[in-house]
């Protein structure tokens, strides 16, 4: 790729992608400068061209166009589902149209996080062709401007849809009338999870400060990049061989940095090396550090960011962190989003900051006011949010239960203490 640019009314070029990247790094080329668009045969702002826009650091998002986020990270138990629901609520309170999507096809639980135990429609209705469009399975939530697409937990075959079904799902997501679409991905690094992460406009990796979670998140980013590169160079066996031999060994450890692999490829195929660098530059995952106990633990997130940059040559945007808070666990057990259950908690305040600064790019006085507005609106919504009525189960524990003999909560003749199973029993 080579383009002509216009800086301060002076036409320059043509520049290759790498040369343009260097200009951006030197501060000599901005989003407001012009690029000649070959297809349209006119000068347009650099920010209007997706490939060029990826060169600029610290990107933030607004409602000027639909944005699809995929929330993943590999490690289970780091709070992806809870954060997806709460971020969705925060954006909706600012007036954006938001859809949260349970893309954990094998273990859906986003609906329970919102306090919805028996969704009227689920992804199964779309998967089984009972509904033609994703719009037909959109569910209302107690929050204005916030819709939900529920997964279907425990449905045989749904956890491994055919590739054509995944494509249909992803394509139809982009047709939904919303400012933000948030995909809650499953744990692990299966092709389903990775494909959704790569298909989104922006992938967000969530991790906690624990060493195992940090390692799993790095591996998740590495595997995601590998899958993208393997797809792009599937018809170039020399490139594929170099990637598999040097960057990714069988043990999962990296034998070489991506930068050194690119230099090896440059020797045998200059064009492929430049294309690979282009692909790497366009892949810019973001990072959220969750359940942070202290300022010292934030360094774990910075270390991960450094490792991703040094070993994978990726620029990973640090969106922010959410404080550890005991009230989050209480909210989860009561099937309520934590920002609704306790809008004044440390976790809620840090999440509001993450949304306004890390996600929307509001800084200074503007960011401070927006953060206060988020918390104010969430506090108002909390007053009318439906209370969880399942304090005691209607299901009576008995030997007819299919868990009998394996259930550690047996108490025959009394209400079932595992009240979350009520919808299953009633079916």
Question: Is 168:195 a contact under the CB 8 Å cutoff?
Answer: no
Residue 363 is predicted with a pLDDT of 75
Residue 184 clears pLDDT 90, i.e. is over it = yes
Average pLDDT for the chain? 83
Nearest to 192 by CA among 160, 222, 165, 234: 160
Mean pLDDT along residues 337-351: 94
Q: What value does the mean pLDDT take over residues 44-65?
A: 65
Structural domains of the chain, with CATH: 2-53 (no CATH), 67-384 (3.40.50.300), 390-427 (no CATH)
- Asked if the model's pLDDT at residue 80 lies above 90, the reply is yes
Question: pLDDT class for 427, splitting at 50, 70, 90?
Answer: very low
What's residue 64's pLDDT? Answer: 45
Q: CA quadruple 408, 108, 150, 86: dihedral positive or negative?
A: positive
**298 pLDDT above the threshold of 80:** yes
Burial of 155 (0-12, 13-18, 19+ CB in 10 A): middle
Beta strands across the sheet bearing 42-45: 10-16, 2-7, 34-37, 42-45
- Average pLDDT, stretch 198-219? 92
Query: What pLDDT, in 10s, does the model give residues 251-274?
Result: 456 778 899 999 999 999 999 999
Q: Given phi > 0 = left and psi -120 to 50 = alpha, else beta, which region is 157?
A: left
Q: Which two tokens stand for residue 253?
A: 């450890």
What is the model's pTM? 0.77
pLDDT at 309 over 80: yes
**Per DSSP, what are the bridge partners of residue 101?**
149, 183
94-141 per-position pLDDT tens digit: 999 999 999 886 677 898 889 888 889 888 888 777 888 889 999 999
Decide if 363 contacts 357 (C-beta within 8 A).
Answer: yes
Residue 316 confidence (pLDDT) above 60: yes
Interatomic CA distance for residues 338 and 84, integer angstroms: 11
């Amino acid at each position: 790729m080579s383009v002509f640019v216009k800086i301060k009314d002076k036409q320059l070029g043509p520049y290759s992608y790498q040369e343009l990247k260097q200009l951006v790094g030197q501060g000599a080329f901005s989003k407001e400068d012009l690029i000649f668009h070959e297809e349209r045969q006119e000068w347009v702002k650099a920010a209007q061209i997706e490939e060029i826009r990826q060169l600029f650091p610290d990107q933030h998002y607004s409602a000027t166009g639909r944005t699809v986020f995929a929330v993943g990270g590999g490690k289970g138990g780091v709070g992806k589902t809870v954060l997806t629901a709460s971020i969705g609520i925060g954006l909706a309170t600012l007036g954006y149209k938001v859809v949260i999507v349970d893309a954990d096809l094998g273990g859906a639980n986003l609906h329970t996080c919102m306090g919805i135990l028996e969704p009227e429609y689920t992804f199964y209705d779309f998967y089984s062709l009972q509904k033609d469009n994703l719009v037909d399975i959109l569910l209302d939530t107690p929050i204005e401007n916030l819709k939900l697409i529920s997964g279907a937990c425990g449905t045989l075959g749904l956890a491994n849809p055919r590739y054509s079904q995944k494509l249909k799902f992803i394509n139809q997501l982009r047709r939904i009338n919303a400012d933000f679409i948030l995909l809650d991905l499953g744990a692990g690094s299966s092709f389903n999870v990775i494909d959704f992460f790569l298909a989104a406009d922006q992938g967000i990796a969530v991790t906690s400060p624990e060493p195992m979670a940090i390692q799993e998140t790095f591996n998740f980013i590495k595997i995601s990049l590998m899958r993208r590169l393997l797809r792009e160079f599937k018809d170039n066996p020399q490139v594929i061989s170099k990637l598999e031999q040097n960057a990714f060994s069988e043990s999962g450890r990296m034998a070489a940095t991506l930068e050194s692999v690119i230099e090896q490829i440059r020797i045998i195929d200059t064009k492929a090396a430049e294309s690979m660098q282009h692909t790497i530059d366009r892949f810019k995952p973001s990072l959220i550090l969750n359940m942070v106990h202290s300022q010292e633990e934030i360094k774990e997130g910075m270390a991960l960011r450094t490792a991703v940059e040094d070993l994978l040559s990726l620029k990973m945007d640090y969106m922010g962190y959410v404080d550890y808070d005991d009230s989050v666990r209480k909210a989860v057990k009561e099937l309520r989003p934590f920002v609704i259950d306790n809008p004044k908690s440390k976790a809620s305040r840090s999440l509001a900051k993450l949304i306004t600064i890390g996600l929307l790019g509001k800084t200074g006085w503007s960011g401070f006011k927006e953060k206060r507005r988020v918390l104010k609106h969430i506090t108002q919504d909390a007053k009318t949010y439906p209370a969880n009525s399942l304090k005691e189960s209607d299901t009576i524990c008995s030997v007819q239960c299919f868990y009998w003999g394996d259930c550690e909560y047996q108490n025959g003749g009394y209400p079932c203490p595992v009240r979350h199973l009520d919808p299953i029993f009633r079916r």
